[in-house]
Amino acid sequence: MAKAARKTSTGTDQSNGQIQPKTARGEATRKAILSAAERVIGERGFNEASIGHITSEAGVAQGTFYIYFKSKDEVFSELVLEMGRLVRRALSEATQNIENRLDAEKAGLTAFLEFIRAHPDLYRIIQEALFVDPEAYHAYYHTFAEGYRSGLEAAVKAGQIKPGDADTRAWALMGISRSLGERAVIWGDKTPVEDVVETAHDLIVNGLKP
């Protein structure tokens, strides 16, 4: 409900809406706040995480927050964007020179599970974005879905997988990753990534039929 904040800082307010520090000192403070926000919001959830919690975790005064971020919502949105970038990078790096789709599927699932086990806070933030920043949530999942879909279509054309509705398959496969990720991150399941991937990949490649 907060109104859009008026510009408080002396930092440049870029076209993307971000407030950019002018000095190395400012840069460091901004990063400290962003990183504190990731931890605090990831742990307590958006609504239980107060600006006070975030700034005290970052070791700065409350007002300092508003030198670098227009609002609590804005820092959240930035975290969602960052999460998207990081996951996409991790996945594209893991799969970049794998020509076969089924192999890429396996490498991608492994990379995804490893990434989110390393960044549990970010995982929870994405989930909460459905309510706090629906646009960012939409962008996050649809960007993945689109890439997935076109990859599957290409694989069908190349005869690497059997034909089938690529969009539905894309969402189904994303769902598998997401759910297995959640089992690990939210529920603390300790099954080794390798074992999880083995089972899931066999399901994806061969299905359940005897």
Residue ranges that bind its own copies, judged by CB under 8 A: 1, 45-48, 101-102, 105, 124, 127-128, 130-131, 138, 141-142, 159-162, 164-165, 167-169, 171-172, 174-180, 182-183, 186-187, 191, 195-196, 199-200, 202-210
Residue closer to DNA (CB basis): 9 or 110: 9
3 state SS of 190:
coil
From 24-32, 83-91, 146-154, 173-181, give the range in contact with DNA by CB under 7 A. Answer: 24-32
Provide the token pair at 56. 């005290």
Vertex 21 angle, CA 11 and 26, to 5°? 125
Beta partners for residue 13, in sequence order: 19
Pick from 42, 66, 77, 109 the residue near DNA by CB under 7 A.
66
Q: C-beta of 172: minimal distance to its own copies in Å?
A: 5
From 2-10, 100-108, 164-172, 185-193, give the range in contact with DNA by CB under 7 A. Answer: 2-10
Identify the residue whose tokens are 């840069």: 27
3 state SS of 152:
helix
Identify the residue whose tokens are 């960044």: 119
Per CB under 7 A, which of residues 87..146 are in contact with DNA? none
Which of DNA, its own copies, none is residue 92 near (CB under 5 to 8 Å by kind)?
A: none
Decide: 122 and 38 in contact? Cβ < 8 Å: yes
Size of interface with DNA, in residues (CB under 7 A) = 33
Decide: 21 and 34 in contact? Cβ < 8 Å: no
Decide: 98 and 104 in contact? Cβ < 8 Å: yes
Contacting positions for DNA (CB under 7 A): 1-3, 5-6, 8-11, 21-27, 29, 48-52, 60-67, 71-73
